[in-house]
């Protein structure tokens, strides 16, 4: 996918009571959102164990990057759960208010350790803003 970036940074988190706050950082807003998806799915399994055998595509319209973060993660969660996939690689591109994303993974199998069940991204502590070195995206995910 031309013009996309896969989130390659280490998953990051922040404290938030019973749920988990996820963080994504990147040079562009798209990179930060891809890294946030990586943080969300790293809660479910070890990403380095997930083989990129199947692709999920998401396509949505959203003017606000903060709402785009929640939409992006929730679409990925819904599609991965409906197809029984563990996801490990993420890419996201944007043209104006149009977002196009892809994620790669594989069906759950023996050898993929199941971590925390992430139910959805929330509006709690939602923030997508410029940060040193680029952008930072964060929100709380319901677990």
CB 34 within 8 A of CB 6: yes
The domain of 117 spans 5-142
pTM of this structure: 0.88
pLDDT band at 7 (very low <50, low <70, confident <90, very high): low
Closest by CA position to 17, among listed 137, 126, 125: 125
Structurally, how many domains does the chain consist of? 1
Q: Which of 12, 72, 21, 80 is nearest to 42 (CA)?
A: 12
115-136 pLDDT tens trace: 999 999 999 999 999 999 999 9
In this prediction, residue 141 has a pLDDT band, given cuts at 50, 70 and 90, of very high
Domain of 20, CATH number, reads 3.55.10.10
Q: Does position 4 have pLDDT exceeding 50, yes or no?
A: no
């Amino acid at each position: 996918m031309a013009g996309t970036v896969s989130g390659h940074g280490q998953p990051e988190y922040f404290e938030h009571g019973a749920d988990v706050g996820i963080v994504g950082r990147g040079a562009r807003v798209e990179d930060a959102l891809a890294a946030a998806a990586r943080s969300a799915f790293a809660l479910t399994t070890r990403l380095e164990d997930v083989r990129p055998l199947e692709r999920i595509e998401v396509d949505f319209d959203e003017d606000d990057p903060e709402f785009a973060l929640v939409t992006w993660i929730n679409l990925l969660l819904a599609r991965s759960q409906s197809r029984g996939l563990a996801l490990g690689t993420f890419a996201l591109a944007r043209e104006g208010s149009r977002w196009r994303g892809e994620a790669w993974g594989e069906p759950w199998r023996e050898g993929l350790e199941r971590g925390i069940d992430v139910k959805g991204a929330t509006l709690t502590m939602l923030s997508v803003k410029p940060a040193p070195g680029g952008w930072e995206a964060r929100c709380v995910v319901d677990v």
